[in-house]
Amino acid sequence: VTTLRDVTVPAGFPDRIEVPGLGPVSVLGAGCWTIGGAATNRGVPIGWGDVDPDAAYQGLERAHTRGVTLYDTADVYGLGASERLLGRLLHQVDRSRLVVSSKVGYFAGTAAHPYQPDQMRRQLETTLANLRTSYLDAYHLHSGDFGDGDRHLCEAVAQMRRFKEEGVVRAIGMRAPHEFATEWATGTGTRAATSARFLHLFDLVQPDVITVRHSLLAPVYRPDETDIFAFAQQRGTGVIIKQALGQGLLTGSHPPGKQRTFPEGDHRSQDPYFRADTVEAVWNAVQVVRAMFGPDPQHLIRVALAYALQTSGLRAPVLVGFRDPAQIEQNIAAFDAPLTAGQISHLQEVMRPVRESLKAATQQARAVPHEQTAKEYT
């Protein structure tokens, strides 16, 4: 049974959202994964293909001009390329007015593990140099792999705390699972294990902020389940939403008849969400959304972003990836008319079969180790 809960229908959208741990930020954040371009890490495609760095930089400038104050990158996004593009912007503008995050945990260099404290220190120094800044507003533990038996977990957390004490990192971040309810943690099966693992890590790390994948493709929770937004509110932790556009699938730019192909180093080449059958399932649902709200990408983007923001209770800003200034413009313009509670409920029903297709595709991919590794980065 899926029941509508906690949907806020505001008169209009706020310009700013107060995020515990980060302070006030623009409702739309610039997600800088895409602009790093194609890349591989340990043989796994982890980037986005066919990105023009000049157009990407213009996108960053446009975001800044249009009042975006939240910028998220990672050491592995284009293996430094994303950070360096963002660093170009930070060098030109008043950095102190922006909230900038990066991440560590997937890139080992020549160290035995990415979370060895010395390796984390080297990565942070490189990140700060790339970004041309002396501090990060948030530094995220990007990967949930802390080595065999979590052997690097305690030292990684201690290193993060040290960065914070030194003032070089202002908030510690980590990712939330894609499916989570507090109540599930005591059950059995995969979702119980995932929820319990998250709670264990959360209690150890005590993050100031967490990131969560949240979109029309995400699970819908029952009123008696404590989802990640309610959990974070109980703990006083900030939340940042990512992938509200379903990495582009919800924008109508992936027609199944003319399926897009992805070059080497583009993570979508190995992502089960971009398999022909799942692309088609999303497309079919997107056609229903078109019939309800309008035919253009602008209409679809408005629905996708409003859905993510409103079902978070308007408590979390939305990081949106982009490749050029046109996408930035379109995405900012999409924060227009909020959805009604009835529309949100209807959308959840429309998306139900898609959620099931995606779940099945993800479970099948888990059996293939390299696919699981590519998906891990999302």
Ligand X SMILES: NC(=O)c1ccc[n+]([C@@H]2O[C@H](COP(=O)([O-])OP(=O)(O)OC[C@H]3O[C@@H](n4cnc5c(N)ncnc54)[C@H](OP(=O)(O)O)[C@@H]3O)[C@@H](O)[C@H]2O)c1
Q: Which residue's CB is nearer to ligand X, number 29 or number 165? A: 29
Q: Tell me the closest approach of the beta carbon of residue 243 to ligand X, in angstroms.
A: 4
**Cβ–Cβ under 8 Å, residues 315 and 229:** yes
Closest CA to 106 of 197, 44, 161, 194: 44
Closest CA to 210 of 170, 240, 186, 169: 240
Closest CA to 180 of 204, 212, 140, 146: 212
Q: Tell me the closest approach of the beta carbon of residue 223 to ligand X, in angstroms.
A: 27
- Both structure tokens of 246: 């379903």
Closest CA to 52 of 85, 100, 93: 85
Q: Tell me the closest approach of the beta carbon of residue 78 to ligand X, in angstroms.
A: 11
Q: Tell me the closest approach of the beta carbon of residue 60 to ligand X, in angstroms.
A: 12
Residue 90 has φ and ψ, to the nearest 5°, of: -60, -30
Q: Which residue's CB is nearer to ligand X, number 36 or number 338? A: 36
Q: Which residue's CB is nearer to ligand X, number 224 or number 358? A: 358
**Cβ–Cβ under 8 Å, residues 313 and 229:** yes
- Both structure tokens of 336: 């227009």
- Which residue number is nearest to ligand X in terms of Cβ? 321
- Compute the distance between CA of residue 283 and CA of residue 253 in angstroms, rounded to an integer: 9
Q: Which residue's CB is nearer to ligand X, number 5 or number 269? A: 269
DSSP string, 324-351: SHHHHHHHHHT--SPPPHHHHHHHHHHT
Q: Which residue's CB is nearer to ligand X, number 119 or number 251? A: 251
Q: Which residue's CB is nearer to ligand X, number 174 or number 350? A: 174
Q: Tell me the closest approach of the beta carbon of residue 330 to ligand X, in angstroms.
A: 4
* Helix H or strand E segment including 63: helix 53-65
Q: Tell me the closest approach of the beta carbon of residue 55 to ligand X, in angstroms.
A: 11
- Both structure tokens of 279: 């692309």
Residues paired with 41 in a beta bridge: 44
Q: Tell me the closest approach of the beta carbon of residue 20 to ligand X, in angstroms.
A: 17
- What is the binding site for ligand X (CB under 6 A)? 31-34, 48, 72, 140, 142, 175, 211, 242-248, 251, 253, 297, 301, 319-323, 327, 330-331, 378
Q: Which residue's CB is nearer to ligand X, number 242 or number 355? A: 242
Contacts of 24 (CB under 8 A, 6+ apart): 16, 17, 18, 69
Q: Which residue's CB is nearer to ligand X, number 103 or number 152? A: 103
Closest CA to 331 of 308, 349, 312, 350: 308
Q: Tell me the closest approach of the beta carbon of residue 230 to ligand X, in angstroms.
A: 20
